[in-house]
Structure 1
Amino acid sequence: MAIKKKIIALGLAVSLVGAGLLTGCGSKDTQTAKEEPTEKYPKKAMEFIAPGGAGGGWDLTIRTTAKILKDTNLVSVPMPITNKSGGGGGINLAYMQTKKGSDSLISVYSPPLLLINLNGSTELSYKDTTPLARLITDYGVFVVPKDSKYTSISEVMEALKTDPKSVKIGGNSSAGSMDHIQFLMVAKAAGVENIKDIDYISFQDGTATAQILGGHVDLLSTGLGDVEQLLASGELKALAQTADKHVGQGVLAEIPTVKEQGIDVTFENWRGLFAAPEMPDHAVKYWRETLAKMVETKEWDEACKKNGWDKAYLDQEEFENFLGTANDQYKGILEEIGMAKK
């Protein structure tokens, strides 16, 4: 009889435990499992894109970003870099439209993203991306071969005042885009008339430095970080840069400003990161938070000093407001020189 009662009690206990499992009552582990996310982000390799050729400003910026994110353990997944050059960034912008909603594509851009839309090169604009953050401000620089007859930007401007076609200007961006516009702004401020007649040759395949070294153009309009090694080696000499102060270290810090040579103008080449259009909210949140941490690292400080970049971080909302203001400014410049789309 006692044995029979024990069996009944054991069966009742098992039944109660079973009921608890079925209803979830008394199962703390099950509740915890439901509350924990099932997937982590990012869980696969990212697609980091430079819209220009290897060795250019976009390439340097996104490679530096990827390296620091990896070196500081802020991101653990691979971040291979792809170069998609052409159209002043337009080829890549069109490609980004095919990745709408992707959580794994990030590209770097700068003023040409706005300019190629304003000058009519593409109907797409920065509004066809997901802006994430502005990272840095770089500046333009005007360089010539080591044996050039020009020793200052003022001498170049005097030559252009006499004959606007006397100096061939080269750049990696398309006509009406950044390398072209930054030079025209300086020429206009210097008093050069008929700036539309200045010969500007675009090398969108990223070969502009090779072209000036080969003597195919007289002056190269580019970014400070793009030609640092060639300046250090003495193959090129810098006539002026477009900041309102001396920037960078070493050879970069020695370059005189345009203002120091009596030309009252500056030009900022900001650079920021943009994701595919309609990037999911969880991915946007992750990258905003991660990039905010990255720009506070000593590794980022060192990279900015080395490349002559000014730290100019803006989070997404501030960056979008900045882009709207910059878009209006560039539109005014293009209208003034007759290159704005009708």
Structure 2
Amino acid sequence: MSKSPTERDSPNMAEVGAEPGSSAQSRVKQSVVGIAAIVVTAIAAFFSIQSASGGEDIRSNMTLIAPAAAGGGWDTFQREQQQSMRVNKIVNNIQVVNIPGAGGTIALGKLSTMTAPNTLMVGGTGHIAAQIQFDTPAKIQDVTPIARVVEEFDIITVPANSPYNTLEELIEGWRADPAGVSWTGGGSFDQLVMTEIALAAGIDPQETTFIPSDGGGEAIQALLNGTAKASTGGFADMYPQVEAGRLKVLGIAAEERLPGTEIPTLVEQGYDVTLTNWRAMFAPPGLSDEQIAELREIVAESIETPEWKSAVERNYWMSAPLEGEELDQFVEDEIDRIDQLFKEMG
């Protein structure tokens, strides 16, 4: 049975010992709602003060919400955005506010109750995974998508001394022993990628073993100490270990090769696996067309700055701009895709 997932930017089910659909998860879900009420009450005063002191003019005053604690991927994204907007005077007064918890859905719930246009939250795959996994009251459909900005890719790695030297060798071994060839990763997104690989290879995901780790560091240790045989993990976490000679990389889950690397994609190796950890900007609901257009212009200006382009390269991101009706459809498709993968996981 595929083991319970975690998420780089969502609640760690391994810590509470619950699997999706279990009574324990119901208790976790109730706790999430309670925590959300406390956190939202605590931050309401901040946003009231911020709005009163700075007004609602978008170019004068803006808050960027990172729906996770400091130091994670969402936080890094928003602080890089803050830097590019501040240095290039795109927005006069800009601040980052961290609202962690429940896979980003506490922040999502807060954003869904706001009306002022001068707040942007980063969101993406992690939000969708959390709202499906825990059936949270807040949904990404409740807010306004402004623009998708970047994607982050998972790579498939094995220990340097692994008998598997190619993806096909790993798949053959996995087919022969789905439970015995154990996988790890730093979050439920990584397990979703593993699930998509299993389906593409004709392996029942519910017969596989996924050992959840709390972030990329634990996943690397699980590989190095032999607890896991293979990993799906974020490029930025895993690739330095490949360069150091501790791990071997067998493929990248992307439609095209990442510039500057020679890592073959899973697609070119015969496995149609392209699920990415994408990040987009979202605004409160109910904004006017003019306000949405202004927010899109601000994001467009920020991603053209030298500071932002340097951040993309430094964080191993891939620019993936998308907006308007195409972005709306993309989000809907991702919800359907991730929902189906969770069902396959059992």
TM over 0.5: yes
- State whether structure 2 residue 180 is matched by structure 1 residue 163: no
RMSD over aligned CA atoms reads: 3.3
Find the counterpart in structure 1 of residue 124 from structure 2. 110
Find the counterpart in structure 2 of residue 100 from structure 1. 114
The 5-angstrom pairing of residues 1-342 of structure 1 reads: 40-41=57-58, 43-44=60-61, 46-51=63-68, 54-56=71-73, 58-80=74-96, 82=98, 84=100, 86-97=101-112, 100-101=114-115, 103=117, 105-174=119-188, 178-192=189-203, 194-203=204-213, 206-213=214-221, 215=225, 216-249=227-260, 253-278=261-286, 284-335=292-343, 337=344, 339=346
Q: Would you say the 8 A contact 2:216–2:234 is kept in 1?
A: no
1:161 CA drift (Å): 1.3
Q: Would you say the 8 A contact 2:58–2:118 is kept in 1?
A: no
1:187 CA drift (Å): 1.7
1:227 alignment partner, SS class: helix
Name the CA distance, whole Å, in 2 between partners of 1:142 and 1:75.
40
* Superimposed CA distance per residue, residues 131-188 of structure 1 (whole angstroms, 9 cap, x where no aligned partner): 22111233221223444444333333223212222133223333xxx22121111122
Name the CA distance, whole Å, in 1 between partners of 2:111 and 2:212.
23
Larger radius of gyration: 1
Name the CA distance, whole Å, in 2 between partners of 1:239 and 1:77.
45
1:114 CA drift (Å): 2.4
From the superposition, tell whether residues 209 and 153 of structure 1 become closer, same or farther in structure 2 (CA, over 3 Å).
farther
From the superposition, tell whether residues 122 and 152 of structure 1 become closer, same or farther in structure 2 (CA, over 3 Å).
farther
Q: Would you say the 8 A contact 1:52–1:59 is kept in 2?
A: yes
1:186 alignment partner, SS class: helix
Q: Would you say the 8 A contact 2:156–2:250 is kept in 1?
A: yes
Name the CA distance, whole Å, in 1 between partners of 2:56 and 2:197.
52
Unpaired runs of 5+ residues, structure 2, are 1-54
Name the CA distance, whole Å, in 2 between partners of 1:266 and 1:322.
14
From the superposition, tell whether residues 259 and 338 of structure 1 become closer, same or farther in structure 2 (CA, over 3 Å).
closer
From the superposition, tell whether residues 75 and 242 of structure 1 become closer, same or farther in structure 2 (CA, over 3 Å).
same
Name the CA distance, whole Å, in 2 between partners of 1:39 and 1:121.
32
**Structure 2 length normalisation: TM-score?**
0.69
Q: Would you say the 8 A contact 1:143–1:239 is kept in 2?
A: yes
Name the CA distance, whole Å, in 1 between partners of 2:159 and 2:250.
10
Aligned residues: 289
From the superposition, tell whether residues 293 and 45 of structure 1 become closer, same or farther in structure 2 (CA, over 3 Å).
closer
From the superposition, tell whether residues 90 and 155 of structure 1 become closer, same or farther in structure 2 (CA, over 3 Å).
farther
Name the CA distance, whole Å, in 2 between partners of 1:133 and 1:290.
10
Residue 334 of structure 2 aligns with an amino acid whose one-letter code is: A
From the superposition, tell whether residues 45 and 143 of structure 1 become closer, same or farther in structure 2 (CA, over 3 Å).
same
From the superposition, tell whether residues 71 and 234 of structure 1 become closer, same or farther in structure 2 (CA, over 3 Å).
farther
1:329 CA drift (Å): 3.5
Name the CA distance, whole Å, in 2 between partners of 1:306 and 1:226.
12
Residue 209 of structure 1 aligns with an amino acid whose one-letter code is: G
Find the counterpart in structure 1 of residue 5 from structure 2. none
Unpaired runs of 5+ residues, structure 1, are 1-37
